[in-house]
Chains A and B, each alone.
Chain A
């Protein structure tokens, strides 16, 4: 079975509190904190759609959609 491919990666800027949990634990270093203290998916092309950022975000701010969802 083919691995799911990333369709969209969205971070709700009103809900994100900039805790860095998604950034630190992303296995592919896709995310970073911007100068507004919000997480952004700066390197989306590297994302393997593992959804760990979505599962660990304490603020339910991340949504990862793949071609399988």
Chain B
């Protein structure tokens, strides 16, 4: 199917600002699904609130646009009742790791078969540029006019520590890599996290004088390198891209099936 067959064309042009990285994530995600040859009916996309979460409205799958930070809780409900469907949850960095931090930890811990895509633009775009847990120390935001003092946070380390069994990071500059990682994340059985570093030229870019969307993408190219590459080994400032973990562990819905089996056979306590 062509890209346009996966979207709700009537809502285009979309609401995102010119050059917003979230559009590139949408573009890559559709192409991943296209390569997988999945039917639109097999996919449920669940999102919370934020510029990033608006992605749900643009795709022609089963979609739920829910509450800020709570998308994974809704997604867990969907997946538990219809485990045969593929559940994808696109989230902003604020949505996933500040207000939704607890849901994120426990979805990862349970290793429920959901694909979480963290569109990390290091700011609250939708509400006017407040700093997020991913802004990092020393950055500027509407709510940090004298520089942010909150220490940096790391989506990858956080996801791995909490128990996610597929964890990857890429950027919107690396669109082909993003497509491939999302494809692998969807195929993985268990909780998968793909952090896509994304640009918000309107708030993060403007506040931190990072220039245009193009400049921000060039910066993401220069500050990242593949895991274990020479560039990454030689420069501790480099942010690594790639797949950090990919392992098999009991998946939550499969474990729950065993509970159902025990209960129906009267093998309870």
Q: Which residues from chain B contact A14 at a C-beta distance below 8 Å?
A: 12-13
CB-based nearest A residue for B18: A17
A27 CB within 8 Å of chain B: no
Using known A-B contacts A15-B12, A15-B13, A19-B18, determine if residue A60 contacts B27 with beta carbons closer than 8 Å: yes
Residues 31-60 of A, flagged 1 when their CB comes within 8 A of B and 0 if not, give 000000000000000000000100111111
CB-based nearest A residue for B175: A55
Interface size on A, residues (CB 8 A): 16
Bound-state CA distance A25–B176 (Å) is: 13
Binding stretch for chain A, among B101-109, B137-145, B210-218, B252-260? B210-218
Partner of B23, one of A18, A24, A25, A60: A60
The secondary-structure label for the interface of chain B is helix
* Residue in A14, A19, A57 with the greatest tally of chain B CB atoms within 10 Å: A19
Q: Which residues from chain B contact A58 at a C-beta distance below 8 Å?
A: 16, 19-24, 26-27, 172, 213
Report B22-38 residues with CB < 8 Å from chain A CB: 22-24, 26-28, 30-31
> Once the chains bind, are A57 and B13 in contact (CB under 8 Å)?
no
B14 CB within 8 Å of chain A: yes
A20 CB within 8 Å of chain B: yes
What is the CB-to-nearest-CB distance from B131 to chain A, in angstroms, rounded to a whole number? 23
> Once the chains bind, are B12 and A60 in contact (CB under 8 Å)?
yes
Partner of A17, one of B19, B27, B217: B19
CB-based nearest A residue for B176: A55
The secondary-structure label for the interface of chain A is loop
Q: Which residues from chain B contact A24 at a C-beta distance below 8 Å?
A: 214
Q: Which residues from chain B contact A19 at a C-beta distance below 8 Å?
A: 18-19, 212-214
> Once the chains bind, are B212 and A59 in contact (CB under 8 Å)?
no
What is the CB-to-nearest-CB distance from A2 to chain B, in angstroms, rounded to a whole number? 21
Using known A-B contacts A17-B13, A19-B19, determine if residue A56 contacts B214 with beta carbons closer than 8 Å: no
Q: Which residues from chain A contact B212 at a C-beta distance below 8 Å?
A: 19-20
* Residue in B4, B26, B28, B175 with the greatest tally of chain A CB atoms within 10 Å: B175
Bound-state CA distance A21–B179 (Å) is: 18
What is the CB-to-nearest-CB distance from B268 to chain A, in angstroms, rounded to a whole number? 52
Please name 9 further chain A to chain B contacts, defined as beta carbons within 8 Å, in addition to the given A20-B19, A60-B4, sorted by A numbering: A21-B24, A21-B217, A24-B214, A25-B217, A55-B175, A55-B176, A56-B24, A60-B7, A60-B12
What are 24 A-B residue pairs whose CB atoms fall within 8 Å in the complex? A19-B18, A19-B19, A19-B213, A20-B214, A21-B24, A21-B213, A21-B217, A24-B214, A52-B175, A56-B24, A56-B27, A56-B173, A56-B175, A57-B23, A57-B24, A58-B19, A58-B20, A58-B21, A58-B23, A58-B213, A59-B14, A60-B3, A60-B12, A60-B27
B residues touching A (Cβ–Cβ < 8 Å)? Answer: 3-4, 7, 12-14, 16-24, 26-28, 30-31, 172-173, 175-176, 179, 212-214, 217
